Structure 1
Amino acid sequence: MIMVRRYIGFWLFLILNVIFVLFFLVNQSEFIISALFLVWVNMTIYSVRDLKSKGMLFAFCVAFFSFLMGRHLLSYYFDYEVEAFSEDVNTHAELCMLLSLVTVFFSYMFFYVRNKRKNKQSHGGYVLPDKYIKFIRKYSLGIFWFALVFSVIYAIFIVVLVHTIGYLASYTIEGKEMMRGNYLLLTLNRIEQALPVALCCYLATLPDRKSCNKICGSYFLYLIFTLLGGQRGPFILGALFLMIYYFYRNKRDGEVWVKKSWVRIGLISFPFLLVGLGLFSKIRTGDQIEFKNIGDSLVKFVYNNGVSVNVIKRSYELDYKLRSDRFYSMHFLHDGIFGLVFGSDGTGNNADKATEGYHLAHALPYLMFRDKYLEGAGTGTSYIAELYHDFGYIGIVFGNIIYGFMLALLAKFDKNKPFNTSMKLLIITRLLWAPRGGFTEFITILSLPATIFIYVVVFVSVFFVFGVPRKRCAKLV
């Protein structure tokens, strides 16, 4: 039966590729953009066939299309709100995206197969005594509930702030100073940073489904509050994070974590969720809301959400104006605890941060629309744009090899290594955000004082209580 399914799957896979090739030939599509879409389709199908182990790769495909590819494809194939970019700039963006996907795809497959072989060849492994796992679970859960209460309070304050001074104004230096000058709000912000860390430490112990549902449901409620405060990114990334974790746990121990009815409900509600997020984007910036039909709203969402492809294009156009002595992909050196050593760029949108700082997310919008940037507007960044500015096309290749390695590493979680597993879980959202975020944001989140503090409290204290386990117990194979 398994062989029959594989045989049918292979032919369906082959037919689908032939259909797309014929479509490209009929439309006389250029080779690069045709190859880009074909690689993405194959990469997505490859991951969908085994969501339990490759859910992270699937989520990365979704993020890559949503943040980068979707807008460009709509403009190319359907002439939807075509923007005035030269052919050279568009070709550059297509080549950058193609190089990224091809490199991630092949490096992922290489490291995934290599890791799988290593696991099969390993006849024994490290087994952490149950008392350690229970201690880590108990203490991380306590920190989670504590942080959740104050995080919700902080999220409610942000909702009030955004509705009072406006979404864009909250990103200006005045808006940031309003919070920095209030020690209570600053404390709440630091506690909020600890929330996902505590959650990842708890989930790293692979708790039972009933307990997990309660914790993850509470966390999802917090994500809704962040959405009301204008933060679409944390909500979408948090939802994808929970999806990846639940698909990983599904049927792994013989227990159903993801019911088929949930999948059906999710697929049906997904278009309506996208429409809602698109309308929400208009509301938060005060733009006029226009609604024709669901199809039109979905197209607008894909187009507006894919604005990060313009970061690749604009940074290429304005590369001669960007500082050549700045390695924007290494911005983690100026965040978290590294910022204490190498200097921090500070907070808020201001001229000094844009001209003297190490973040492309501030340097680029300042060059593009100076006054609007100072009023809180921005372009965001993209890991691809940062890699190209710093190291050229070869940098894009090597950077995506690193991403392929890390995505493959996230195919397996081990509760006997809760420290490693918690770090894997913690960087998931940063890797998914990379098409719209910085290349080294996964390092930044690990270097935040809140992250280090939680790890010390949870993992160092367990060794003080029970001592460092010296015996390595062989796993039963």
Structure 2
Amino acid sequence: MSVLESVYNLQRNIRYMVLFFAISMFSAGVFFSNTTILLIAICGILMHNLWYSFESFSNRIVFLAFNGTFFIFLVGRLIVKSVTNYTDKYNNNAFGLDFTDDQVVMRILVCLFLSLFFLFLGYSNMKNNNPITKIEIKLFKRSNIEYIALVSKLAFYFTYVFNALVLWDKAKFTNAMGYTELYSSYVSSFPGWVTKLSEMCPTALFIYLGTLPTKKKAAVPLVLYLLLGGLSLVVGQRNNFVLNILVILVYLCLRNITDKKEKWFGKKEIILCLSTFPLLIVLLNAVSYYRMDSEVANHSFVDGVSEFFYSQGVSVNLIGYAQTLAGELPPDKIYTFGRIEDFINNNTITQSITDAPKYEPQTLESALYGNSFADSVSYLLSPNRYLNGWGFGSSYVAELYKDFGYVGVAIGNVVLGIILSLMTRLFKSGILGVWVCLSMTRLLLYAPRDTATSFIVSTFSLINILTIVVICIGVWVLAERRQRFGLLQKDL
């Protein structure tokens, strides 16, 4: 046995010990009804998952990123409150939660541990690393790769302008009216076709990235995509900025697997990420103050980090509200699949041939009769604030627990772990595979603060399908010209 194999086996054995420790602490915490022990168990299983990810960094980057967002949105608040005794003038409860009932707190912590544990089980049991069988459009064949790259890149640049205009319009609105008004009274200054063109931008980019351009050719589109996230900060939307960064990191790491000639994410990139992390935290905190029309607080960097994770972790309370508000929520709703039901009923085709009701978000009708867990909970907590644009958001864990209890949390996370493991295989499965991988990954990473099935509905939305059709038409035109006139292929 080589030295490297010995080191690897030692590291893996230590990880198994951490896993055993986490399971033991969880069992003890449940047996003794001790919330502190349960939090230690959650930290243990999270540490194990991160360790497991680093054992094969590039291959498991999606799993690593998901555990990172899970920590930010659902666990960080609990740890910050326990370790630093963070002061919240509005909430001095244990773990920074909105609840004082020990049983509610216990159930929240149990849901978090079960989520992380069964997420690992689902992910780690998908051993086959071979690419998924390619399901490609006929035009997306290797001989047309340069045309696909050209058309998709031009489509990205063209729709990028409209995306930036729409974001700038929202930024002007929030600057004048306030951030919460964006979700209750914002009306675009542009006609509908401008908004639709702007929505085509990410898919055009992901199709281009699916052609696996060189590092030099991919640089400008990736930087532009990052700048779109920066413009979202001006609007007050921090999540788009962070998700854009994470998708870029995922793409760079996955290219390490597919590209044997260039190193896409190595030591230099890791050092760059670590060095810019403090600046990122400060920037995101500043946006938070901007959204609340408050002056930026003057405190230390450590206090700023604590404040960031504490404020971002508010979504963990939704698991508690799934319990305490269960009797007031509509009894016939399965929120886990609510987005899929809305997609089926509310798309343009269905609306034109049926009279299925369509409820606009952030309205009384949506809160009372719709399939949105976020709208219903936000309305029950504060009707006036909800109708004025405030919302608590959602969480896939809360929806699973509300609909199916602990069994649903366990099974749902096994399925989610399997889906996360498929992302790397999808990336190796052709242009459309890369598109599905990047589009789904971006939405999956937000699932701890989003609905359970958003990643499916948003990926296969009509506007995304239309974008692919438009690119196919462009490729077909160029391919026909090549056959008829012997068009010379140009370097992209």
TM-score, structure 1 length as denominator? 0.87
> Is the aligned partner of 1:372 residue 2:374?
no
> Is the aligned partner of 1:443 residue 2:443?
no
> Is the aligned partner of 1:146 residue 2:158?
yes
> Is the aligned partner of 1:294 residue 2:301?
yes
Question: Take 1:461 and 1:233, find their aligned partners in 2: how far apart are those partners?
Answer: 33
- Cα displacement (A) at 1:346: 4.0
SS in 1 for 2:450: coil
Q: How many residues align?
A: 454
**Any residues of structure 2 matched to 1:407-422 within 5 Å, and which?**
407-414=420-427, 417-422=430-435
**Any residues of structure 2 matched to 1:321-332 within 5 Å, and which?**
321-332=328-339
Work out whether residues 210 and 435 of structure 2, in 8 Å CA contact, stay in contact via their aligned partners in 1: yes
Which letter does structure 1 place at the counterpart of 2:269?
W
Work out whether residues 103 and 401 of structure 1, in 8 Å CA contact, stay in contact via their aligned partners in 2: yes
Residue number in structure 1 paired with 2:65:
59
* C-alpha distance after superposition, 1:182-217 (max 9, x if no partner): 5x2433322221111111111112111111111101
Which letter does structure 2 place at the counterpart of 1:2?
L
Work out whether residues 162 and 197 of structure 2, in 8 Å CA contact, stay in contact via their aligned partners in 1: yes
Question: Take 1:402 and 1:338, find their aligned partners in 2: how far apart are those partners?
Answer: 25
Classify 1:161/1:344 alpha carbon distance in 2 versus 1 (closer, same or farther; 3 Å).
farther
Question: Take 1:285 and 1:241, find their aligned partners in 2: how far apart are those partners?
Answer: 28
- Cα displacement (A) at 1:294: 0.5
Which letter does structure 1 place at the counterpart of 2:449?
R
Work out whether residues 205 and 415 of structure 1, in 8 Å CA contact, stay in contact via their aligned partners in 2: no
- Cα displacement (A) at 1:21: 10
- Cα displacement (A) at 1:51: 1.9
State which of 399, 406, 410 in structure 1 corresponds to 2:419.
406
> Is the aligned partner of 1:189 residue 2:189?
no
State which of 145, 168, 178 in structure 2 corresponds to 1:156.
168
- Cα displacement (A) at 1:282: 1.3
TM-score, structure 2 length as denominator? 0.84
> Is the aligned partner of 1:70 residue 2:72?
no
Residue number in structure 1 paired with 2:115:
100
Work out whether residues 40 and 101 of structure 1, in 8 Å CA contact, stay in contact via their aligned partners in 2: yes
**Any residues of structure 2 matched to 1:131-280 within 5 Å, and which?**
131-172=143-184, 174-175=185-186, 178-179=187-188, 182=189, 184-250=190-256, 252-280=259-287
Question: Take 2:365 and 2:125, find their aligned partners in 1: how far apart are those partners?
Answer: 43
Work out whether residues 336 and 447 of structure 1, in 8 Å CA contact, stay in contact via their aligned partners in 2: no
Which letter does structure 2 place at the counterpart of 1:235?
F
State which of 86, 92, 105 in structure 2 corresponds to 1:90.
105
> Is the aligned partner of 1:309 residue 2:323?
no
Work out whether residues 43 and 61 of structure 1, in 8 Å CA contact, stay in contact via their aligned partners in 2: yes
> Is the aligned partner of 1:38 residue 2:44?
yes
Work out whether residues 232 and 240 of structure 2, in 8 Å CA contact, stay in contact via their aligned partners in 1: yes
Classify 1:321/1:76 alpha carbon distance in 2 versus 1 (closer, same or farther; 3 Å).
farther
Question: Take 1:344 and 1:148, find their aligned partners in 2: how far apart are those partners?
Answer: 33
- Cα displacement (A) at 1:371: 0.7
Question: Take 1:283 and 1:238, find their aligned partners in 2: how far apart are those partners?
Answer: 21
Which letter does structure 1 place at the counterpart of 2:161?
V
Work out whether residues 161 and 198 of structure 2, in 8 Å CA contact, stay in contact via their aligned partners in 1: no
Classify 1:119/1:185 alpha carbon distance in 2 versus 1 (closer, same or farther; 3 Å).
closer
SS in 1 for 2:424: coil
Question: Take 1:412 and 1:133, find their aligned partners in 2: how far apart are those partners?
Answer: 20
Residue number in structure 2 paired with 1:356:
369
* C-alpha distance after superposition, 1:276-334 (max 9, x if no partner): 21121011121343222000110010000001101111221111101111111112235
Residue number in structure 1 paired with 2:124:
109
- Cα displacement (A) at 1:170: 1.3
* C-alpha distance after superposition, 1:33-88 (max 9, x if no partner): 22221111000111122221110001001100000011122334554343443111
SS in 2 for 1:435: helix
Question: Take 2:167 and 2:42, find their aligned partners in 1: how far apart are those partners?
Answer: 39
Work out whether residues 74 and 315 of structure 2, in 8 Å CA contact, stay in contact via their aligned partners in 1: yes
Unaligned runs of 5+ in 2: 29-33, 87-91, 481-492
Residue number in structure 2 paired with 1:48:
54
SS in 2 for 1:407: helix
Classify 1:130/1:458 alpha carbon distance in 2 versus 1 (closer, same or farther; 3 Å).
same
Q: Which stretch shows the higher mean deviation, 412-421 or 157-166?
A: 412-421
Work out whether residues 161 and 170 of structure 1, in 8 Å CA contact, stay in contact via their aligned partners in 2: yes
Work out whether residues 419 and 459 of structure 1, in 8 Å CA contact, stay in contact via their aligned partners in 2: no
Work out whether residues 250 and 256 of structure 1, in 8 Å CA contact, stay in contact via their aligned partners in 2: yes
Which letter does structure 2 place at the counterpart of 1:96?
C
Classify 1:95/1:165 alpha carbon distance in 2 versus 1 (closer, same or farther; 3 Å).
same
Question: Take 1:445 and 1:259, find their aligned partners in 2: how far apart are those partners?
Answer: 32
Question: Take 1:35 and 1:387, find their aligned partners in 2: how far apart are those partners?
Answer: 21
Work out whether residues 155 and 471 of structure 2, in 8 Å CA contact, stay in contact via their aligned partners in 1: no
Question: Take 2:22 and 2:155, find their aligned partners in 1: how far apart are those partners?
Answer: 50
Classify 1:339/1:19 alpha carbon distance in 2 versus 1 (closer, same or farther; 3 Å).
closer
Work out whether residues 426 and 436 of structure 2, in 8 Å CA contact, stay in contact via their aligned partners in 1: no
Work out whether residues 154 and 185 of structure 1, in 8 Å CA contact, stay in contact via their aligned partners in 2: no
Classify 1:415/1:394 alpha carbon distance in 2 versus 1 (closer, same or farther; 3 Å).
closer
> Is the aligned partner of 1:283 residue 2:290?
yes
Residue number in structure 1 paired with 2:483:
none
Give me the identity figure in percent.
26
Work out whether residues 333 and 339 of structure 1, in 8 Å CA contact, stay in contact via their aligned partners in 2: no
Work out whether residues 337 and 448 of structure 1, in 8 Å CA contact, stay in contact via their aligned partners in 2: no
Q: Which stretch shows the higher mean deviation, 307-316 or 232-241?
A: 307-316
- Cα displacement (A) at 1:259: 4.0
Which letter does structure 2 place at the counterpart of 1:308?
S
